[in-house]
Amino acid sequence: MNRTGRWIPGARKLLPSTAVLAAIGVAGIGLTVAGCGGGGAPAVSAPPASAHTAAEQAAVTSWFVQTNQMLTHDDFAAVDQVTTGQMRTIYLAEEQQASLPKNADRVGFQLAGLSITIPCHTGSPAAFVAYGDTNVFDLGTGMQSVAMVFERAGGRWKLAAAVNHPDGAGWPALCTRGTPPAGPAVLAAGRYAPDLARVLTSAMTGAAQTTRTAAPFAVNDFLAGSGSVPVTSATSIRQDQRDGVSYTGRFTPTPDATVALPLADGRGYWLIGILTQSDTYNAPSGVRAKDWPDGNQVATPRPAVVHHESDTFITTYTAIDPPRTADATVALDGFFGWPLSAVAS
């Protein structure tokens, strides 16, 4: 995927869930946990691990075991025991269309280099971050470094969100001792998702972002340059328009609260927010090809002539929110996206 929910041009931007799960079955799924409990090499650029994390390690292992159970046996009974928020939404979407071939050869997902950081807090901790290398979030294709945010919900630790390792950078260093910073940051956590949805929706029109239109966000490589949201969107829009197809996209906040994890040395917060991305194709003359003009595949099942397609993704965006000063901005630094649905008509 690029830095929206859409897949990189030339690849399917949204596979139907049945196809995704069938692919998993062919590749095989079982249980292989490498590195859980401290074995194996540390995850890429993982911050120093916290001490005394037996309960947190047990929660990660439970999530991993139950995830394999869901995908190998179509048994999603434990969804509410091990997931919450965005991840619960993803798992429930997969459950609706889960189907595995009876002759599947099930070789396990992997989870290696587990490292757990408990952010500094007042009272009991409400969240922890598990860093690791896993192939769970690209459905067995290859190992990737991820940060998994677990939150306390219903008396249990549950996986709430995940984010891919930031390109060319390490994970933000979290505050692990003492109390969270008392001073205000640039952006209140409650404003992060609404403000980001506004900026990304503008960027999805292909409009170049400026310090004024992107405020309070920094115009970094998420919002300017090759691979950014406005540049990739502008390219797709032009390609589609040449063949009489219109493409639009928008972002909206989900009900999930933004997670604000305090950074080390009073440098502000690492914000983790969840947005829904909705994409629409309209083709008055109809499309008979298997791909839209921008190279993305038309959803299946599909009629012989497609006039409309609606796609929905759930996305995670992370950002560094520094202490408030006159010229400070919030810098996007991480992304995770997952397709929820695609309907062609």
d(CA 57, CA 52): 10
Q: Residue 33 sits in a domain of what CATH number?
A: 3.10.450
User: CA angle, corner 47, sides to 44 and 53, nearest 5?
Assistant: 110
Q: Same domain for 211 and 112?
A: no
pTM of the model: 0.85
Q: Is residue 112 part of a domain?
A: yes
Q: Same domain for 43 and 107?
A: yes
Q: Is residue 176 part of a domain?
A: no
**Helix and strand counts by DSSP (H, E) for the chain:** 7, 9
Q: Same domain for 145 and 49?
A: yes
- Average pLDDT over the chain, rounded to an integer: 83
Q: Same domain for 253 and 296?
A: yes
The answer for residues whose C-beta is within 8 angstroms of residue 277's C-beta and 6 or more apart is 4, 5, 249, 250, 251, 312, 313, 314, 315, 337
Which residue among 149, 164, 179 closes a domain? 164
Q: Are 32 and 108 in contact (CB under 8 A)?
A: yes
Q: Same domain for 144 and 274?
A: no
Q: Same domain for 204 and 151?
A: no
Q: Is residue 181 part of a domain?
A: no
pLDDT in tens, 156-185: 999 999 998 766 678 999 998 888 877 899
Helix or strand run (H / E) with residue 73: helix 54-73
Q: Are 334 and 166 in contact (CB under 8 A)?
A: yes
pLDDT in tens, 203-227: 999 999 999 999 999 999 999 998 8
Range of the domain at 323: 189-344
Q: Are 134 and 146 in contact (CB under 8 A)?
A: yes
Exposed, middle or buried, 198 (CB in 10 Å: 0-12/13-18/19+)?
Answer: middle
- CA 197 from centre of chain: 15
d(CA 316, CA 29): 26
Token pair, residue 145, equals 């470094």
Place of tokens 């920094």: 218
Question: Confidence class of residue 228 from pLDDT cuts 50, 70 and 90?
Answer: very high
pLDDT in tens, 13-72: 322 232 333 233 222 222 333 333 334 454 557 777 888 889 999 999 999 999 888 767
